[in-house]
C-alpha cells in the first residue's frame, strides 16, 4: 500500500481507490487510526503496521464522517475505542451505509475476514472547539457539516496535526451532499483553525497532505470560489464554466455527476431562502 507521508509519529497510507487516506498516529500512550479503508489487502497492511508499532498501547479509531468508504474497516480493529460525532452516532441512515459497503464488496467479488458493521461510538464529540483529553493528549474537535451531516474536524495541538476529513482535498472540488451554505460555514471554521492553531500538517480524506499554511488557505479559497461561482451562476441564470473546472480536476466521470449534484443542492437551497 502506498505510503503518502511518514515521520516519527504519523504515517499516511493511501488507498489505490480514490486516493483515500488511512492515517496512523503513534502517540505516547495510544495509537490513533483515522478512517482505515478500502481493499482487504490494504486493511491488512494497516493492521500489520499497527501491530508492529503498537507496543501494547490501546487503539483509538477516529471516524471523520460516516461515508461508507471511511467506515469500511471498522471491525478490522475489534479492540479499538471509537471516536466520532454525535450526529454520526445518531445517523438515521446506518443501514443504507452498510448496504453501500455490501454492494461494493458484492460487485467486486471482495471477501473480508472481518464483519461489516456500522461503528458504535465510545467517545462522542459535539459542538465546536470541544477539547477532549485522551490518554493524556488533548484533542480538539469541531463539527464539519456540508459535505455530509456528521463530519468533524480534529486537531491535535501538541503535534500540530489538523485532520479535515473530506474537506480541503486537493484532488477534488467540494462534494456537497447536504448544504452549500453550511459547507461555506465549515470552510470558515477551517480558516479559523488554521490561523489559530497554525497546524504543521493538514491531513485530508482523499489525496495529498499539506505542510504549508499558504497552501492550506489556498485550498479553502479555491473551494469557496467554486461554491460562490455556482451561487452566482444560479442567481444570474448564467451557465457555469464546467470545461474550465474539468481542466483543473482529473477524473471527469466522477466529477461531472458530483458537480451536477452540487448544482441541484444549491438550487434547492437558494430557492428556499
Ligand atoms: Zn470520502
Q: Among 106-120, 216-230, 236-250, where is mean pLDDT lowest?
A: 236-250
Report how far residue 70's alpha carbon sits from residue 236's, in angstroms, rounded to the nearest whole number. 37
Given this model, what pLDDT does residue 37 score?
Answer: 98
Give the mean model confidence (pLDDT) for residues 168-184: 96
CA of 175 to the centre of ligand 1 (A): 9
- Per residue in 36-61, pLDDT (tens digit) is 999 999 999 999 999 999 999 999 99
- Please tell me the distance between residue 21's alpha carbon and the centre of ligand 1 in angstroms: 9
Give ∠ CA 190-164-18 in degrees, rounded to 5.
135
pLDDT for 113 equals: 96
C-alpha cell belonging to residue 54: 503498537
Helix axes 213-235, 252-272, angle to 10 degrees: 60
Residue 56 CA to ligand 1 centre (angstroms): 30
Residue 253 has pLDDT above 90, yes or no: no
| Ligand 1 center from residue 219 Cα (angstroms) | 17
State the pLDDT at residue 241. Answer: 87
Q: What is the pLDDT of residue 272?
A: 86
pLDDT of 54 reads 96
Grid cell, residue 65, equals 464522517
pLDDT digits (tens, 9 = 90+) for 57-101: 999 999 999 999 999 999 999 999 999 999 999 999 999 999 999
**What is the CA(237)–ligand 1 centre distance, in A?**
31
Write phi, then psi, for 182 (nearest 5 degrees). -70, -30
Which regions of 157-223 does DSSP assign to beta strands (E)? 161-163, 201-203
Checking if the pLDDT of 273 tops 80, the result is no
**Owner of C-alpha cell 451554505:** 181
What are the pLDDT digits (tens) for 204-234?
Answer: 999 999 999 999 999 999 999 999 999 999 9
In CATH, the number for domain 2-272 is 3.60.15.10
**Could you tell me the distance, in angstroms and rounded to a whole number, from the CA of residue 238 to the centre of ligand 1?**
30
Span from the CA of 44 to the centroid of ligand 1 (angstroms) = 20
Summarised one tens digit per residue, pLDDT across range 115-125 is 999 999 999 99
Centre of ligand 1 to C-alpha 259, Å, is 15
Measured in Å, residue 70 CA sits from the centre of ligand 1 at: 6
Distance of CA 197 to the CA centre of its chain: 19
Q: Is the pLDDT of residue 34 over 80?
A: yes
How far is ligand 1, taken at its centre, from the CA of residue 20, in Å? 7
Where do the domains of the chain lie?
2-272
CA dihedral 156, 162, 167, 170 (to 10 degrees): -160
DSSP secondary structure code for residue 157 in this structure: G
Q: How far is the CA of 73 from the centre of ligand 1 (A)?
A: 13
Return the pLDDT at 247: 87
Cα of 103 from ligand 1 centre, angstroms: 17
pLDDT of res. 204: 98
Q: From ligand 1's centre to the CA of 94, what distance in Å?
A: 16
pLDDT of amino acid 5: 98
Ramachandran region of residue 139, left (φ > 0), alpha (ψ -120 to 50) or beta? beta
For residue 63, how many C-alpha atoms fall within 13 Å in the half-sphere facing its CB? 32
CA of 228 to the centre of ligand 1 (A): 22
Is 251 a residue whose pLDDT tops 90? no
d(CA 167, CA 188): 12
| Structure confidence at residue 245 (pLDDT) | 87
pLDDT of residue 250: 85
Span from the CA of 206 to the centroid of ligand 1 (angstroms): 6
**Weakest-pLDDT range from 150-164, 227-241, 243-257:** 243-257
**% residues pLDDT > 90 (the chain):** 93
Q: How far is the CA of 211 from the centre of ligand 1 (A)?
A: 21
pTM, whole model, 2 decimals? 0.96
Determine contact, residues 258/269, Cβ cutoff 8 Å: no
Count CA within 13 A, CB hemisphere, residue 138. 7
- Mean pLDDT estimate for the chain: 96
Amino acid at each position: 500500500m502506498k505510503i503518502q507521508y511518514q515521520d516519527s509519529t504519523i504515517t499516511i497510507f493511501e488507498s489505490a481507490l480514490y486516493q483515500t487516506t488511512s492515517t496512523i498516529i503513534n502517540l505516547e500512550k495510544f495509537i490513533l487510526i483515522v478512517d482505515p479503508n478500502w481493499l482487504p489487502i490494504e486493511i491488512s497492511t494497516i493492521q500489520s503496521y499497527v501491530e508492529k508499532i503498537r507496543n501494547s498501547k490501546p487503539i483509538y479509531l477516529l471516524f471523520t464522517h460516516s461515508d461508507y468508504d471511511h467506515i469500511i474497516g471498522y471491525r478490522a480493529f475489534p479492540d479499538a475505542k471509537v471516536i466520532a460525532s454525535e450526529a454520526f452516532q445518531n445517523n438515521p441512515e446506518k443501514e443504507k451505509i452498510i448496504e453501500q459497503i455490501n454492494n461494493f464488496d458484492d460487485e467486486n467479488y471482495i471477501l473480508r475476514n472481518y464483519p461489516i458493521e456500522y461503528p458504535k461510538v465510545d467517545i462522542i464529540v459535539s459542538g465546536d472547539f470541544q477539547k477532549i483529553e485522551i490518554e493524556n493528549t488533548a484533542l480538539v474537535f469541531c463539527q464539519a457539516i456540508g459535505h455530509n451531516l456528521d463530519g468533524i474536524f480534529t486537531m491535535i495541538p501538541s503535534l500540530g496535526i489538523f485532520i479535515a476529513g473530506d474537506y480541503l482535498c486537493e484532488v477534488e472540488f467540494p462534494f456537497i451532499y447536504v448544504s452549500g451554505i453550511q459547507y461555506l460555514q465549515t470552510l470558515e471554521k477551517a480558516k479559523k483553525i488554521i490561523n489559530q492553531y497554525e497546524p504543521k500538517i493538514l491531513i485530508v480524506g482523499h489525496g495529498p497532505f499539506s505542510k504549508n499554511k499558504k497552501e492550506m488557505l489556498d485550498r479553502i479559497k479555491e473551494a469557496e470560489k467554486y461554491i460562490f461561482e455556482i451561487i452566482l451562476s444560479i442567481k444570474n441564470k448564467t451557465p457555469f464554466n464546467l470545461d474550465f473546472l474539468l481542466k483543473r480536476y482529473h477524473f471527469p466521470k466522477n466529477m461531472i455527476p458530483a458537480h451536477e449534484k452540487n448544482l441541484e443542492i444549491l438550487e434547492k437551497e437558494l430557492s428556499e431562502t
